[in-house]
Copies of this chain bind each other. A is one copy, B any other.
């Protein structure tokens, strides 16, 4: 494949604290008229890393009764360095806060070409009951799964 090199899977220290890491090629078309990756693109990468985390770390979150599910309450992204095609990024996700009905996830975007962090940020996810239209408690099953996936407790 043109866009793949044999990668040793060792994570750089910038990603060491992240239990979920995905690897994504930059598309030429991710670049905008300034000639670097557009600011909306890392927001899409954050989304992909959130989904990857949930799938692998706490998949029960998506399997509650049909009327309960996670919704995104907010997202923040800090653009640390410009990204250009061609490059491959590694995007890490970890839970940094685990509240009653919401959790905070931290994201980091690491450029393989630059061997440096290109962006970081966070998102707040709320468990929501679409019937009562209100936030609802994160279940014990999801809570335990996250603690196990992170290998640490949240107090």
- Report how many residues on chain A are interfacial, defined by Cβ distance under 8 Å: 42
Contact of A52 among B2, B9, B24, B33 (CB under 8 A): B2
- Known A-B contacts A31-B33, A48-B29; A9 and B1 likewise in contact (beta carbons under 8 Å): yes
Nearest opposing residue in chain B for A71, CB measure: B79
- Give CA–CA (A48, B4) in the complex, Å: 14
- Give CA–CA (A90, B55) in the complex, Å: 23
**A76: Cβ under 8 A from any B Cβ:** yes
A72 / chain B contacts, CB cutoff of 8 Å:
39, 79
Q: Is the CB of B28 within 8 A of A51?
A: yes
**A3: Cβ under 8 A from any B Cβ:** yes
Contact of A43 among B3, B40, B48 (CB under 8 A): B40
Contact of A33 among B35, B40, B73, B90 (CB under 8 A): B35
Q: Is the CB of A48 within 8 A of B28?
A: yes
Known contacts A2-B55, A27-B48, A74-B121; can you find 7 more A-B pairs with CB under 8 A? A2-B20, A23-B25, A27-B47, A28-B51, A39-B43, A39-B72, A75-B77
